[in-house]
Amino acid sequence: MTATFAFAVGIRNTNGAGLVLDCLYPAPVMHPKGAAADAAASFSAGTHVLNDTLLQTLISTAPELVPASLVAAQQSCNNQHELIAIRLTADEDIGSTEEAYLKLHLLSHRLALPNTLNLGGIFAHLPNLAWTSAGPIEVTDLSQALLNARAQGLNLEVFSVDKFPKMVNYVVPTGVRIADASRIRLGAYLGDGTTVMHEGFVNFNAAALGPNMVEGRISQGVIIGAGTDLGGSSSTQGTLSGGGEIVISIGEQCLVGANAGTGIPLGDRCTIEAGLYITAGTPVMVVDETGTQVQQVKARELAGQSDMLFIRDAKTGQVLCKTNRKAIELNDALHSHN
């Protein structure tokens, strides 16, 4: 029997032309065990529309795969909203919109960490849509939808035109605070105790492991560790564009100051002062604990090290790296989201 890599039951939304717009999976699983594995294995790889018989069989054999809320919602499904089951037997390139949404859900449900899933093909299988107060609409249908709404005395609000929706319309992780939901894409991983303020942004396949205070940008592929604080408008360099190949991560109890950023991985207990952006090629003078200059290096040579303090020399503007042995402590009261 071929093992199941991931399995989910959800609602697929299509338009009148049959284009899959999005999918909602309230309880996806990875590597199911026991009865859940047997139930998943009863389906071949791919996507299946669930009739009443298949649905009842799933509910009777593995009820954890079919939440009661999903069963209730199934009563309202129509030709454009179908109850489906999807089974992946291997972590291969994405081959459908249903698969793309499943992998994004796995990340936001905290079932997989960024950079551990094969997301090859995701852009090809996510349609560019208008995300509106009435749900996703194909861009070519938007003008007519706006006119239809206006004719009925309704206001159809368009929030964005994008391939990725905001996470909270699909997954709301426990123990988090999000000031502006539009800045968290589906496929983001937010750990317990994480606060994302209005200027914070978390891309798909990016993570704040929690607890974290995020007031800056976490780019695709970037992971920040527990206790790390990203100051207002700070940023982390991603690899989606520009040819970057270094996957950035920031360890635990770090501080990236306001308007600062990093293009190199950082270990634990590192600080970058406000307004200072460290790139791989930044010349850095390494200074020991006595204040003695040790050597000048490119920042990439310090990648991944812990207990580093990056500051600028007040007189020369030269970037210095000093040992920083004082861990940054976050305010516990800010990260209790029960």
265-277 per-position pLDDT tens digit: 999 999 999 999 9
Tell me whether residue 92 is one of the annotated catalytic residues: no
Contacts of residue 312, Cβ cutoff 8 Å, sequence gap at least 6: 273, 276, 318, 319, 320
pLDDT at position 327 is: 37
Mean pLDDT over each residue of the chain, to the nearest integer = 92
For residue range 61-111, what is the model confidence (pLDDT) as tens digits? 999 999 988 888 877 788 889 999 999 999 999 999 999 999 999 999 999
The active-site residue, picked from 82, 98, 99, 215, is: 215
Residue 338: closest CA among 211, 189, 174, 108: 174
pLDDT confidence tier of residue 122, bands split at 50, 70 and 90? very high
**pTM value?**
0.93
Say whether pLDDT at 334 is over 60. Answer: no
> Edge-to-edge strand order for the sheet containing 195-196?
177-178, 195-196, 213-214, 229-230, 255-256, 271-272, 308-312, 319-323, 283-287, 293-298
Q: Stretch 224-253: mean pLDDT, rounded?
A: 85
pLDDT at position 232 is: 96
Cβ burial, residue 17 (10 Å; 0-12/13-18/19+): exposed
pLDDT at position 242 is: 47
pLDDT confidence tier of residue 333, bands split at 50, 70 and 90? low
Domains and CATH numbers, the chain: 6-108 (3.30.70.2010), 129-162 (3.30.60.70), 167-331 (2.160.10.10)
pLDDT at position 166 is: 97
Length of the chain: 338
Structure tokens at 307: 């207990």
pLDDT at position 69 is: 87
Instruction: Specify whether the CB–CB gap between 262 and 272 falls below 8 A.
Output: yes
Say whether pLDDT at 326 is over 50. Answer: no
- In this structure, of 133-142, 183-192, 241-250, 299-308, the range with the lowest mean pLDDT score is 241-250
Structure tokens at 337: 């989201």
For residue range 169-190, what is the model confidence (pLDDT) as tens digits? 999 999 999 999 999 999 999 9
